[in-house]
Structure 1
Amino acid sequence: MKHITFHLDFISPYAYLAFEHLPEALQGLSYSVRYQPVLLGAIVQHHGQLAPAQIPAKRAWTYRHVLWLGHAHGIPIDLPASHPYDPLPHLRLALATTHDGAINRHVAELIFRDVWRGGAEATDAARLAALSARLPQVRDGHGDAARAQLRANTEQAIAAGVFGVPAFEFDGRLFWGFDGLAMLRAALENDAWFDGPQWDEADRRPSLLRSNRPIPAS
């Protein structure tokens, strides 16, 4: 059996879509998944990036794109009443159900669907309380253990090269995004492409751009 680590943050619609599509995308393969919540905002900040929602045109495209992907793949999706929002309550609730930083698929499903179905306010206090009551063995979701585990998960993801979510680790390789699922499947199936030079040599070329220097218009 092959093992995948799925780095996720419930704030990401692409992570939700990838979560829902994963069983279909990998149908017929033997694998296990470690679902590992991370704080996307901290990862983006570490890499000196702006989140998509911080760029107005990209924010608009993202919402249209994820709604289209849901439609195209038959995945129910409704945008929350407000987005982006603070994902920490959901992340800490999730990690309050485990002792090793990984959550089971049932917990991930309950939280993802609470956020991305129905179009309600994701962080409404009453809804969070109701969600907490549906989760198994929830300890103090605002406690030090959950906070520390989220920090550890995020640091581990950054060390592994994660720059966004959804991100999938398999066999020392990292696959990013909803559309990375097809590539992940190929790797799981031992596609010979991964034994050739394309993977290892793709980034072995110099960049002519200096860090933080704008690209000239002409």
Structure 2
Amino acid sequence: MKTLRFYFDPISPYAALAFEQLPEALADCGSYEVEYVPILFAGLLMAHGQKGPAEIESKRRWTFRQIAWQAHKLGIPMQTPAQHPFNPLPLLRLAWACAAPGSTPNRHQVETIFRHVWRGEGANAVDPQRLAALTQDLAPRQDPASDAIKVQLREATEAALLKGVFGVPTIELDGRLFWGLDSLEMVAGALRSDAWFEGPDWDAAGAERPGIKRQ
């Protein structure tokens, strides 16, 4: 059975939509299992010297218009939280705190966190009262504020960076990384052993080429 690793941060609306769409997108791809890996998107951005889409005003407007269209097209209810960007650390730590020892959070736990953010009728995702209610609902196995959980999140983010993860959502399959909501079709092709993935095309398409580099 194939294993997919779904790297996510609940701050990302694209990750939220990809999470919701994943079962349908891979419905005819045979048996597989998914490991849901919470990582800090801001950590990826910092490592690569980038700003998030919501930190560039013109890009923010486009991002949320596109997300609203994608949600409409896919028939997925979605409401942008009152504050965005926000600090997702409490939610990421809660996700890890819910996981069994040596494992990652399960789909129900991740779904509950995503829907807290993106189906919360536009409320503040990190409002203390809402966070307290979410924590009570999920009943984490560990203290989300513990040093052990903070280390786990940091190590997961660092491990993702070492593998080449640069954004969320990213899906890892057989050592390959697939980034973004629109990569689900490619993931499905890889799971079906499409001939394109069996030959040299994957490596050839990603080969380094000479070009101008900004300093």
TM-score band w.r.t. shorter chain: over 0.9
Query: Residue 177 of structure 1 corresponds to which residue in structure 2?
Result: 180
CA contact (8 A) 1:36 1:101 kept: no
Query: Residue 50 of structure 1 corresponds to which residue in structure 2?
Result: 51
CA contact (8 A) 1:37 1:101 kept: no
1:115 aligns with 2:90: no
Per-residue deviation at 1:205?
A: 4.1
| C-alpha distance in 2 between matches for 1:12 and 1:82 | 13
Task: Flag structure 2 segments of 5+ consecutive residues without an equivalent.
Answer: none
Per-residue deviation at 1:100?
A: 2.7
Q: Deviations over 1:164-196 (max 9, x none)?
A: 000000011000000000000000000001123
| C-alpha distance in 2 between matches for 1:166 and 1:105 | 15
1:92 aligns with 2:93: yes
CA contact (8 A) 2:94 2:140 kept: no
Per-residue deviation at 1:101?
A: 5.4
* Structure 2 counterpart SS, 1:134: helix
Q: What is the aligned-residue identity percentage?
A: 51
Question: Which amino acid is 2:34 matched to?
Answer: V
| C-alpha distance in 1 between matches for 2:193 and 2:136 | 42
RMSD: 1.1
Of 115, 129, 133, the match for 1:130: 133
* Structure 1 counterpart SS, 2:98: coil
Per-residue deviation at 1:47?
A: 1.2
Per-residue deviation at 1:53?
A: 1.1
CA contact (8 A) 1:101 1:150 kept: no
| C-alpha distance in 2 between matches for 1:66 and 1:101 | 31
Question: Which amino acid is 1:32 matched to?
Answer: E
- The structure-2 alpha-carbon separation of the partners of 1:127 and 1:162, relative to structure 1 and needing over 3 Å to count, comes to same
Question: Which amino acid is 2:11 matched to?
Answer: I
| C-alpha distance in 2 between matches for 1:76 and 1:175 | 24
Per-residue deviation at 1:207?
A: 2.7
Q: How many residues in Structure 1 have an aligned counterpart in Structure 2?
A: 212
Question: Which amino acid is 2:107 matched to?
Answer: R
Deviates more, 1:111-120 or 1:198-207: 198-207
1:10 aligns with 2:10: yes
| C-alpha distance in 1 between matches for 2:157 and 2:81 | 24
| C-alpha distance in 1 between matches for 2:102 and 2:161 | 18
Counterparts of 1:49-88 in structure 2 under 5 Å? Answer: 49-88=50-89
Q: Deviations over 1:137-182 (max 9, x none)?
A: 3421111111000001101100111000000000110000000000
- The structure-2 alpha-carbon separation of the partners of 1:85 and 1:194, relative to structure 1 and needing over 3 Å to count, comes to same
Q: Deviations over 1:13-63 (max 9, x none)?
A: 000000000010011321000000000000111111111112111111111
* Structure 1 counterpart SS, 2:6: strand
Task: Flag structure 1 segments of 5+ consecutive residues without an equivalent.
Answer: 213-218
* Structure 2 counterpart SS, 1:168: strand
1:191 aligns with 2:199: no
Question: Which amino acid is 2:191 matched to?
Answer: L
Query: Residue 210 of structure 1 corresponds to which residue in structure 2?
Result: 213
